[in-house]
Amino acid sequence: MTNMRSDIRFLLGNEERRIENIDPQTTVLNYLRLDEHKCGTKEGCAEGDCGACTVVLGEVDETVPGAMRYRTVNACIQFVPTLDGKQLLTVEHLKSADGSLHPVQQAMVDTHGSQCGFCTPGFVMSLYKIWLDGGEDDRGAINDALAGNLCRCTGYGPIIEAARASGGAGINDVVEQSRRKDVADRLKGLVGEGGGLEITHPRGRYFAPRSSDKLAQILVTHPDAIILAGGTDVGLWVTKHLKRLDPIVYIGDVADLKSVEVRDGDVHIGAGATYSDAHGALGDIAADLGELVRRIGSRQIRNAGTLGGNIANGSPIGDTPPALIALGARLVLRMGDVRREIPLEDFFITYGKQDRAKGEFVEKIIVPKPAGSSQFRAWKISKRFDQDITAVLGAFAITLENGAVSDIRIAFGGMAGTPMRAKKCEAAIIGQPWTDETLNTARLALADDFKPMTDMRASGEYRMLVAQNLLTKLYIETTQPGVATRLVGKAVSHG
């Protein structure tokens, strides 16, 4: 296609790389270890769970002239062509010319933050990202930044201490700003104004357009292409299921799909916006929505994964769809030049089947601002609080007037083959006084809405009981606000 390049251009530390003839589904981790012989970055799980492969990606911050933005990602599930136009920083790049340790490495030594050391480079890179942002002292924020790094021998206390002891880059310092501007200028010069990437390799093709018009055109020409967003699902198809994907169409470089905008109070989220990008705006819609997003995977996963991917994958246990359905979110789908807007709940037809034609893609998600009197609650129930898959997720948008329920939307994940509304339960509540009696009727009605399955995560009986108890929790929180119903969970940390 016109105007598209075939070489992948990026900075590895401060060194320029222009790579041609690489299998497009080569992971960044394998490239680093096998091609660059930079073996500081480790492989633990190869599925985004352990953080041993954590690297930092730097990108030009288009909102502030001359600025860079940095994020941690799991190198094991990112493909090399997604590095185009970015700076890749690994633990090797922390080494000073005089051989002295970087402040975060020195802090790890001083606090005895490493034993076997396998997890250490990954932790160091997560700490380095904190350092790049100017340092952090708050325990909650440090926990959040490190929740995607697992350590099985040292224990987290010394590592958290190291985070505090590291200090931070002087982000307002003139020298640091000019260093970042220099990197931003080099990255801009490297990729120029071209139309993105088109790679043809014997093992597969890869397209990375830079506009949604071009994306639409490519998908019409290649309707069977695999759409790649953050790769937090797709990456595992390669590392765990050993699939060959051809062609891949990457949407992470499409500038107009990455926007998060508030219009008349509604939030419009481009399908390419990451969870981290959308977190602040979603937390402003409802505190529980922000907290739900904060608990998705880890910081590394949220820095790559998208809301669009969480919807498009059609999973019955994706965390955002039930919450967005309860809030009445709408989906914009596009094929070629034709767009259609549908209620999100209509997208999920049945297990494994969504209302998306070949060649069509999710362009954006519109989350309406809840009416002033509406209250929103969402709870994710999983075996572990952080980094775990949902057993049941209940989301509720309720409006009370004079002690009665004038409106309620209830949606669950983990209770059926798709994220789904509890319409019989809603009907048992709407128009009724919000009392113990209505609650009990509604609890029973849930059994008419769902026949949940038993799997390794939970039994059907457990799921039903949890769903009913979440309804009771909603009742208590909306009628007796003084009662303590949560150990944690209403704070919204944007990051």
Binding site for ligand FAD (CB under 6 A): 47-49, 226-234, 236, 251, 271, 296-297, 301, 304-306, 308-310, 312-313, 318-319, 361-362
Nearer to ligand FAD, 105 or 126 (CB): 126
237 binds, among ligand FAD, ligand FES, none (CB under 5 to 8 A by kind): none
Pull the structure tokens for residue 218: 């490519």
Nearer to ligand FES, 150 or 429 (CB): 150
Nearer to ligand FES, 53 or 333 (CB): 53
Pull the structure tokens for residue 105: 């490495």
Burial readout 5-29 (b: 16 or more C-beta within 10 A, e: otherwise): beebbbbbeeeebebeebbbbbbbb
Nearer to ligand FES, 77 or 381 (CB): 77
267 binds, among ligand FAD, ligand FES, none (CB under 5 to 8 A by kind): none
Nearer to ligand FAD, 385 or 436 (CB): 385
310 binds, among ligand FES, ligand FAD, none (CB under 5 to 8 A by kind): ligand FAD
> To the nearest whole angstrom, how small is the minimum distance from the Cβ of residue 46 to ligand FES?
5
> To the nearest whole angstrom, how small is the minimum distance from the Cβ of residue 473 to ligand FAD?
20
Nearer to ligand FES, 57 or 425 (CB): 57
89 binds, among ligand FES, ligand FAD, none (CB under 5 to 8 A by kind): none
Give the residue closest to ligand FAD by C-beta.
309
> To the nearest whole angstrom, how small is the minimum distance from the Cβ of residue 360 to ligand FAD?
7
Pull the structure tokens for residue 371: 């009416």
> To the nearest whole angstrom, how small is the minimum distance from the Cβ of residue 114 to ligand FES?
5
What are the angstrom distances between the C-alpha of 320 and each of 31, 169, 262, 296, 346?
Answer: 33, 34, 18, 9, 15
Q: In degrees rounded to 5, what are phi and psi of residue 458? A: -170, 155
> To the nearest whole angstrom, how small is the minimum distance from the Cβ of residue 365 to ligand FES?
27
305 binds, among ligand FAD, ligand FES, none (CB under 5 to 8 A by kind): ligand FAD
What are the angstrom distances between the C-alpha of 248 and each of 82, 112, 174, 222, 272?
Answer: 11, 44, 41, 10, 15
Nearer to ligand FES, 158 or 321 (CB): 158
Longest dimension (CA), the chain: 74
218 binds, among ligand FAD, ligand FES, none (CB under 5 to 8 A by kind): none
118 binds, among ligand FAD, ligand FES, none (CB under 5 to 8 A by kind): ligand FES
> To the nearest whole angstrom, how small is the minimum distance from the Cβ of residue 297 to ligand FAD?
3
233 binds, among ligand FAD, ligand FES, none (CB under 5 to 8 A by kind): ligand FAD
Contacts to ligand FES by CB under 6 A: 43-46, 48-53, 74, 76, 114-120, 151-154
Count CB-CB contacts under 10 A for residue 101. Answer: 15
Amino acid at 195: G
> To the nearest whole angstrom, how small is the minimum distance from the Cβ of residue 350 to ligand FAD?
17
Identify any residues that bridge with 410 across adjacent strands, giving them in sequence order: 396
Cβ contact 80:129 at 8 Å: no
> To the nearest whole angstrom, how small is the minimum distance from the Cβ of residue 406 to ligand FES?
47
Q: In degrees rounded to 5, what are phi and psi of residue 457? A: -85, -35
Nearer to ligand FES, 50 or 228 (CB): 50
Please give the Cα distance from 250 to 220 (Å, whole number).
15
> To the nearest whole angstrom, how small is the minimum distance from the Cβ of residue 136 to ligand FAD?
23
Residues in the chain: 495
271 binds, among ligand FES, ligand FAD, none (CB under 5 to 8 A by kind): ligand FAD
Nearer to ligand FAD, 107 or 304 (CB): 304
> To the nearest whole angstrom, how small is the minimum distance from the Cβ of residue 313 to ligand FAD?
4
45 binds, among ligand FES, ligand FAD, none (CB under 5 to 8 A by kind): ligand FES
Please give the Cα distance from 419 to 323 (Å, whole number).
9
